[in-house]
Structure 1
Amino acid sequence: MDWTSAQLRSLVELTRRGTITAVAEALGYTPGGVSQQIVALEKATGMQLLRRVGRRVELTDAGATLALHAERILTTEAEAVEALERTRNEISGTLRVGLFATAAAEILPSALHRVRETHPGVTVRSRDMDVDEVYDAVAGGSVDLALGLDYPDVPIPRDPSLRVMELSRERFSLAVPTGTMSAGPGRSGGSGQAGPSGSRSGRSGRQKVSLADTREQGWILPPAGSYYGRAVLTACRRAGFEPQVLHEVTDTAATLALVEAGVGVSVVTDLMLRLRPSRLDVLELHETMERHIVVVFRSFAEHRPTVAALVDVLRTSVGRRPSRRKQQSDGKPLTR
């Protein structure tokens, strides 16, 4: 039958996500574009694959049967691409990469520069997406690999078809409006002076506070249903309190701007702080709260030449990122 990979992938994603709108967001199409793919697939098969149930759609028996085989077809296709890459004398080909906003701003540019230098035959096409969606995007084949985040307190469920490789670990600190909190008696750190970034640190490093010290503060957090939001809520509950979430925000730059404006506190990492120069205080936490930057790809693609090359470049690029924790007296970041 004369069908395309895009049509089959649209059908497979519909079984994963349940709605045309969700499929469109995952694949970077419009809802109308997804519907057109399904209609074209129905014409190619000569069978009805979807039926409307009220405002929703669901797969017919034929649609469910084809979706099951479509996954196998797409997997075989991906394996064929890998085999063809191995026949070439140089590493070349096109990779589709999914990534979240912070990675797009702070990790991808240097990685792409490195790829151009070391593997000029590799073309990278990237897509910005919700960080909680990157795992499904890789599993569904809409991207070849993705940069994502994982939280030890709320680990993302592992799909056995995926390989998740840790690139680096970041420890969270507390971002507060300038001058509103201090380390308090008996805690390490001094008041210090606000540097070019606005953060304060003494000679012995950042001030230390406990999450419990924020119980009377208003918080700026992503939705509680997100992995990030759940990770912060879990850490706060372990510290013995429920954070008062005043502003539900997913954008990191907006979060930093709200902290700077004095409307609440939030947790931040060095990578997050690099997104927007802000006048605020950054206090070290007594509690250990981390997030892991990871690269995700399908297990069978681990030895695909282009995937292996980009993963190696990402590991190098993330390892060389300057840290805000290492500052010269003039405020300029030191390279590691």
Structure 2
Amino acid sequence: MDWSNVQLRSLVELHRRGTVTAVATALGYTPGAVSQQLSALERAAGVPLLRRVGRHVELTDAGLALAGHAQRILDIEAAATAELERSAGRVAGELRIALFATAAAELLPLMLARIGRLHPDLVVRSRELVVDDVAHAVASGTVDLAVGLEYPDVPIRRDPSLRVVLLFRERFSLAVPAGSMSGAGPVSLADTGPPLGWILPPENTHYGLAIRTVCRRARVEPELRHEVVDTAVSLALVEAGIGVSTVTDLMLRLRPSRFDVLPLAETFERHIVAVVRSSAQQRPNVAALIQVLRDLARDD
């Protein structure tokens, strides 16, 4: 049957995410383009793969069956690509990567500069994604490698098809308005509270759930004043004296800020990780990029 990689990937993502809009976001297409790919796949298959339920579509039994085979086809294709790269005996070609915003701002320029020096024949194409979506982007084959975040209390789901490689650890501190808390020593989460409330991401994000878990372990329920996803906005609000938040060194490098940073008595950390498909981990291109990321982490 004559179908394309993009068509199979669209079907796999629809099975995983449930809506055409979510698939479009994951793959970087418009919903109309995804619908066209799915329609073309249906024509190639010769049987109905989708059925409309209200305003949404869902997979038929044939669609579910093909989605399972499609994932295996994509895995085989990835394994073939790895074998061809190994046979070439050098790091060359193209690699697609995804990064969350902070990593894109701080790590991407350094990584590209080092790749250019060490592996001039390797072309890296990058895209910024919401941090909680990077593992899905790798699993779907949208990218070859992603730089993401993992929290000990909220680990990335261990999909057998994925490998999570630790690059480095960051410990969180507490960011508070200048002069609002006395002392320079470690401060406990129990010492936070009125009149300053918390500036936090939503609880349905990995970061939001992780910080709330740490607070509750310390028998503290953070008084949420402002729910913010963007780190730079959170830092600006702390600087303006609006509330407190948690920060790492990498987050602090996003923008010059004037507020106090106090060490936390409680342990709260995050891990910067590389996520790759198991079948791609031994690709020379992927291995070279992971090594560059590890070297940057060690140098920093």
Q: TM-score range by the shorter chain?
A: over 0.9
Q: How does 1:239-318 map to 2 (within 5 A)?
A: 239-318=218-297
Aligned-pair distance for 1:68?
Answer: 1.1
Partner Cα separation in structure 2 for residue 263 and residue 180 of structure 1: 11
Q: How does 1:121-136 map to 2 (within 5 A)?
A: 121-136=121-136
Aligned-pair distance for 1:90?
Answer: 2.0
Q: 2:216 aligns to what?
A: 237
Q: 1:91 aligns to what?
A: 91
CA contact (8 A) 2:90 2:284 kept: no
Partner Cα separation in structure 2 for residue 35 and residue 221 of structure 1: 36
Task: Show CA shifts across 1:234-277 (max 9, x none).
Answer: 11111112101111111111110111111111000000000010
Partner Cα separation in structure 2 for residue 89 and residue 236 of structure 1: 50
Choose which of 210, 232, 243 in structure 1 pairs with 2:188: 210
Aligned-pair distance for 1:13?
Answer: 0.4
Partner Cα separation in structure 1 for residue 219 and residue 278 of structure 2: 40
State the TM-score, normalized to the length of structure 1: 0.87
CA contact (8 A) 2:95 2:125 kept: yes
Partner Cα separation in structure 2 for residue 60 and residue 93 of structure 1: 38
Aligned-pair distance for 1:304?
Answer: 0.6
Q: Which amino acid aligns with 1:212?
A: A
- Write 1 or 2 for the structure with the bigger share of helix: 2
Q: Secondary structure at the match of 1:2?
A: coil
Partner Cα separation in structure 2 for residue 240 and residue 53 of structure 1: 45
Partner Cα separation in structure 1 for residue 94 and residue 175 of structure 2: 40
CA contact (8 A) 1:99 1:129 kept: yes
Q: Which amino acid aligns with 2:179?
A: G
Aligned-pair distance for 1:299?
Answer: 1.3
Over aligned residues, Cα RMSD in angstroms?
A: 1.0
Aligned-pair distance for 1:219?
Answer: 0.6
CA contact (8 A) 1:97 1:144 kept: yes
- Which structure 1 segments of 5+ residues have no match? 184-188, 190-206, 322-336
Q: Secondary structure at the match of 2:109?
A: helix
CA contact (8 A) 1:96 1:125 kept: yes
Q: How does 1:317-328 map to 2 (within 5 A)?
A: 317-321=296-300
Task: Show CA shifts across 1:69-106 (max 9, x none).
Answer: 11111111111111111121421121110110000001
Q: Secondary structure at the match of 1:180?
A: coil
Q: Which amino acid aligns with 1:170?
A: E
Structure 1 range deviating more: 85-94 or 158-167: 85-94
Structure 1 range deviating more: 108-117 or 36-45: 36-45
CA contact (8 A) 1:224 1:233 kept: yes
Q: Which amino acid aligns with 2:119?
A: H
Partner Cα separation in structure 2 for residue 154 and residue 80 of structure 1: 33
Q: How does 1:2-13 map to 2 (within 5 A)?
A: 2-13=2-13
Partner Cα separation in structure 2 for residue 96 and residue 170 of structure 1: 26
Partner Cα separation in structure 2 for residue 131 and residue 87 of structure 1: 34
State the TM-score, normalized to the length of structure 2: 0.97
Aligned length: 299
Q: Secondary structure at the match of 1:253?
A: helix
Partner Cα separation in structure 2 for residue 157 and residue 71 of structure 1: 18
Aligned-pair distance for 1:47?
Answer: 2.2
**Bigger CA radius of gyration:** 1
Q: 1:70 aligns to what?
A: 70
Q: Secondary structure at the match of 1:149?
A: strand
CA contact (8 A) 2:92 2:122 kept: yes
Q: Secondary structure at the match of 2:243?
A: coil
Q: Secondary structure at the match of 2:88?
A: coil
Partner Cα separation in structure 2 for residue 3 and residue 299 of structure 1: 24
Partner Cα separation in structure 2 for residue 208 and residue 72 of structure 1: 51
Partner Cα separation in structure 2 for residue 90 and residue 219 of structure 1: 50
Q: 1:49 aligns to what?
A: 49
Partner Cα separation in structure 2 for residue 90 and residue 9 of structure 1: 28
Q: Secondary structure at the match of 1:98?
A: strand
Q: How does 1:111-126 map to 2 (within 5 A)?
A: 111-126=111-126
Q: 2:26 aligns to what?
A: 26
Task: Calculate percent identity across the aligned residue pairs.
Answer: 66
Partner Cα separation in structure 1 for residue 182 and residue 169 of structure 2: 26
Aligned-pair distance for 1:127?
Answer: 1.1
Q: Secondary structure at the match of 2:3?
A: coil
Q: Which amino acid aligns with 1:230?
A: L
